Amino acid sequence: MIQKKAMLIDISMCVGCNACQDGCKAENKLAPSEEKRLSPTAYTALSEHNGKFVRHMCQHCDVPTCVSVCPVAAFTKTAEGPVLYDANKCIGCRYCMQACPFKVPRYEWASTKPRVQKCIFCAPRITKGLQPACAEACPTGATKFGDRDELILEASNRMQAEPGKYVAKIYGQKDVGGTSILFISPVPFEELGFDTRLGDTPMPLLTLSAMSKIPNVVSMGGVMLAGIWWITNRRAEVQHYEASLKHDATSKTQE
């Protein structure tokens, strides 16, 4: 039986050294520069919140929304945990960007042959029995790689051993159905920019559940109206976000 892999990130131990991003960039042959947020050339990034540092990367959801919305199966979920992306299948619809609850996928706006870019959890390394490059590069032990169940147990043990040090939550254990990237924190996750309103149900299952409860005679119209409402609001949000990314890409190219 294949054991699901995960990474446990202890925010109390992160010193913001950026070694994780350096290791990631070296492994993926990306330009060696410090970037404060995710981009086509930064699959992992660090943000600071009142002296606490937070890792940003693909969460590798147990039931990924990007996989469920992709019309050409460019995204796939492996048994070990990584969510992979096949650029050869991608048609550039960017549904993945609109659907991702963590706003992870990035688009190569500055490229003549743009692709979506994101962390793939160092899947080739995991297959060889190695740990992801970011975990290997971490000098403080803030990032630990291993079997998901064992890491959840370790996180629980740390919180029980020092109840005053951590908030009583493992972010990613149940959020949106569970993720392969887990966090424990000394301060409430909302103060660090985490979205704690996502719920525990995988987002693709929310759609199926809603459709199953709607009478057949009104299901099409109801779902269509709900879909239009969600897409309109989500598209406006994503367009605003994409505009900022385009601006960053243009500025970077001019530099």
What residue ranges do the domains of the chain occupy?
Answer: 5-254
Beta bridge partners of 188: none
Nearest Cα to Cα of residue 43 among 122, 96, 111, 147: 122
How much is the average pLDDT of 57-84? 96
pLDDT at 210 (0 to 100):
45
- Domain 5-254 sits in CATH 3.30.70.20: yes
pLDDT at 238 over 80: no
Token pair belonging to 91: 């048609």
pLDDT at 120 over 60: yes
Q: Where is pLDDT greater, at 210 or 131?
A: 131
Confidence of residue 231 (pLDDT cuts 50, 70, 90): low
- Scan for tokens 């002296």, then name that residue: 51
Coil vs helix vs strand at 99: helix
Other Cβ atoms less than 10 A from the Cβ of 203: the count is: 19
Token pair belonging to 56: 């940003």
User: Which residues in 182-197 are b (16+ Cβ under 10 Å) and which e?
Assistant: bbbbeeebeebebeee
Choice among 106-120, 143-157, 197-211 with the minimum mean pLDDT: 197-211
DSSP for 31-89?
A: -----SS-BTTBSSEEEEETTEEEEES---BSS-HHHHH-TT--EEE-TTSPEEE-TTT
pLDDT at 154 (0 to 100):
98
Could you read off the pLDDT of 162-214 as tens digits, one per residue? 989 999 999 999 999 999 999 999 999 999 999 999 999 998 887 555 444 44
Nearest Cα to Cα of residue 172 among 152, 188, 158, 147: 152
pLDDT at 215 over 60: no
**Phi and psi (nearest 5°) for 45?**
-150, 165
pLDDT at 237 over 80: no
